[in-house]
Structures are given as structure tokens and as C-alpha cells.
Chain A
């Protein structure tokens, strides 16, 4: 299967088509609107389901198989803000706090992009390591912490852990709902194993695709409402929103290949590295780097990088993984 076919089969999945419908609903100013409570409910469902499934997979594969790729994933998440920050400062001319905030978003990961990628792999019958959601869990926090430190002026020696904003951010990064649910459900899944899976499968596995389609409909609307902000963020951030996922994603695929992941697994690590957070990072960053303008990081992550990844990025990283493995 070549790149064009891969893109086609990705674009014609219910998840992506519902995303497009959501964008259309927002742009055409339709009265369709999800209550905020439903958005939160769907998020909780998706995070719990993938955490649990990942835990069961860790139980099957054994921790000795999982630790090396998980460590590689975590390192990658921590390194991305370290290079993105100087790039945003020097080339993008962003302020210290804005550069730190954007770097934190791009080092951290998007769970929904990851789920869309597992969906894509399933649809083309490409096997992958089911414990890959462990990568998702460990990549979420390090980048936020490092991005916030950079944004606080750590390079100029102006950073202190006693700052109340920093304390809130650390707590949010480590105990925020995303990380807590993912890691919690993963531990439960790894304790319960296959037998536990059998008892919750009807709720967490069978309806999963439908819930994801509904969630992406909402994400389409959320992204669509921010398209107007694209004018405010400037050309550099538009380019960054596309170049960063391609660069980070390729690095992720390479790293996944080196640590011995399959084509599917390397694709997923690439997708994670290439994605930008819009759940954990915005809340933590807003409190700890209040001077940073949230329009920059959220618009780039939600209105540029997220749509790019779920349409073009995922098949691109898959093709790269396939190429490396050939």
C-alpha cells in the first residue's frame, strides 16, 4: 500500500469524517453544541478505556519488554521542548514564557491523536504493541515540567520550585485527570489481566469506536471555532504547527525502530512524538506561565497540528516506519 492509499483509507474512517463534520458545523455556525459535561465524560471514557487496555497488554507482555521503549518514549518527550524552545525564541521571536508554553504543548502528547492512530492501524490490519498506551502515559508530564521551567526563565537562573504557580503546574502535570486516569486504569488493567478484560469488554471495547467518532465530532467543532485565531498567531507558528509534527514524528518513528518496536509500534511512537497536547498542557501551563498567551499554544496544537496529524501525519509516520523496516 502506498502513501496515497494510506491517506485515503485514513481519511475515509468514521473518526476523521466526523471530525470534518464537526469543523463544518463550527464554521457554518450551526447550533450544534455539546455540553461541556459530555466532552468531559467522553474524555474520561476514552482515557480509562485505553489505560485499561494498555494495562492488560502490559500484563501479557511483561514489564521486561515494556520498560525500554517506555523509557525511550519518556526521554523523547523531555528532549522535544529542549530544542523547540530555542527554535521558538530565535526563529519565532517569541517571549520566554510563550516559547516555554508552546514547547511544553509540543513535547507533551495528544491522547486522541494516539487513539486515532491505533484505529488507523486496525483498519489496515497492521499489528502493533497494545502496551503502547504506556508510552502515552509516560510522555504526558516530563515535557510540561521542562517547558514550564524554560518558560519561567530557567536558562537565566530565574526559576524556583517555591513559586505557587509552579507548584500548581507540577501537581497538574503529575496528578491531572489525564495522567491519573491513564496510569490508574493501566495499573488496574495490569493487575486484572485478561480475565478482568473479559468482564469489562462490553463497555470499554465494543462501543469504543462509536464513542471516538462522537468525540471527534466535538473536537472538530472545538478546532473549527479556533480557525479564526489562525490570523492572530502569525506565519511562523503556522509553519511550526506543521513542521514540528513532521520532525518530531520522524524522530519518534526512528527511535521506535531502534528500540525494536514493530512497524505498528514505531508508527504509534511517531504519532505520539508528533502530537501536541491540548488537555494536560493547557491547564498546567495557564496556571504556571500566566504571562504566556494561550491563543498561541492552543491554536497551534488544536487548529493546526491536530488536524494535520489525524489526516496526513498518521499515514505519513506509518509509511516511514514501513520504509525503515524494509
Chain B
């Protein structure tokens, strides 16, 4: 079994941003993503998620290291300032690198 190093990028943000983020993910060259509804709190206060307008989403995507960097850079320059959002990357290893 051979495992290949990749990056897992995780973005937690306001759910109304989901469509725009998925657009951005496609633009930087990702092939897919996973999204789940989440709730919690951050430095912009309690994200109660009680009504859909206040809901939050966590988006995860596995990408090549270069893409992860472009993605995080674009998040920083286009969205961080205005929206409740955190994003981070971590190292993962996958079996089928051509899938990502």
C-alpha cells in the first residue's frame, strides 16, 4: 500500500457563503468537497444556528499542496475581513492521488 501526501483544507464559516465558496473552490482547481452544518462560537460571538440565516457550515476539501496555498491566499484576501470564518490546512495521506 502506498500513501501520497496531500493537504486537507478545512473552512468553517457562515452558511450563506457556501455557494460562493464552492465557486471559489472550483476556480482554484479542486474536484470536490464535503460540507456539514455545524454550530459553535467564535470571536464574532455565538453562532447560534437557530435560523438558517445564522447557520454555519464546515467545508472540507483534499487538495495538492500548491492548490491549498492558492485557496488559503484567496480566502484571506477576499473573504476573511468581512465574514465570520476560520480556515486551516493539515497534512493527510491518501491512497489515490489522481482523485484530487
Q: Interface of A with B (CB < 8 Å)?
A: 33-34, 36, 39-40, 164, 168, 221-222, 225, 278-279, 282-283, 286-287, 290-291, 295, 298
Contact = CB atoms under 8 A, between A and B. Distances in A.
A34 B16 CA distance: 20
Nearest to B53: A282
Nearest to A292: B82
Interface in B16-60: 16-17, 19-20, 37, 45, 48-53, 55
A36 B52 contact: yes
Contacts of B45: 295
A287 B51 contact: no
Contact of B20 (A39, A164, A221): A164
A305 B38 CA distance: 29
Contact of B53 (A164, A168, A279): A279
B50 A283 contact: no
Contacts of B16: 283, 286-287
A123 B28 CA distance: 58
A39 B50 contact: yes
Contacts of B83: 290
Contacts, number: 38
A247 B16 CA distance: 32
Contacts of B48: 225
B11 to A, nearest CB: 16
Contacts of A282: 53
Given A283-B16, A286-B16, A287-B16, A36 B53 contact: no
Contacts of A36: 37, 49-52, 55
Given A168-B20, A291-B82, A222 B14 contact: no
A222 B52 CA distance: 11
Nearest to B39: A36
- How many of chain B's residues touch chain A, expressed as a range? 10 to 19
8 pairs of A and B residues whose beta carbons are closest in the complex: A290-B82, A282-B53, A283-B16, A283-B53, A286-B16, A222-B50, A222-B51, A39-B51
Contacts of A34: 50
Contacts of B17: 287
A39 B53 contact: no
B88 to A, nearest CB: 21
B52 A40 contact: yes
Q: Which of B45, B50, B51, B55 has the most chain A CB atoms closer than 10 A to its own CB?
A: B51
B50 A286 contact: no
B22 to A, nearest CB: 13
22 contacts: A33-B50, A34-B50, A36-B37, A36-B49, A36-B50, A36-B51, A36-B55, A40-B52, A164-B20, A168-B19, A221-B50, A282-B53, A283-B16, A283-B52, A286-B16, A286-B53, A287-B17, A287-B20, A290-B82, A290-B83, A295-B45, A298-B53
Contacts of B55: 36
Contacts of A291: 82
Q: Which of B14, B20, B45, B50 has the most chain A CB atoms closer than 10 A to its own CB?
A: B50
A68 to B, nearest CB: 33
A222 B46 CA distance: 13
A104 to B, nearest CB: 14
A278 B20 CA distance: 21
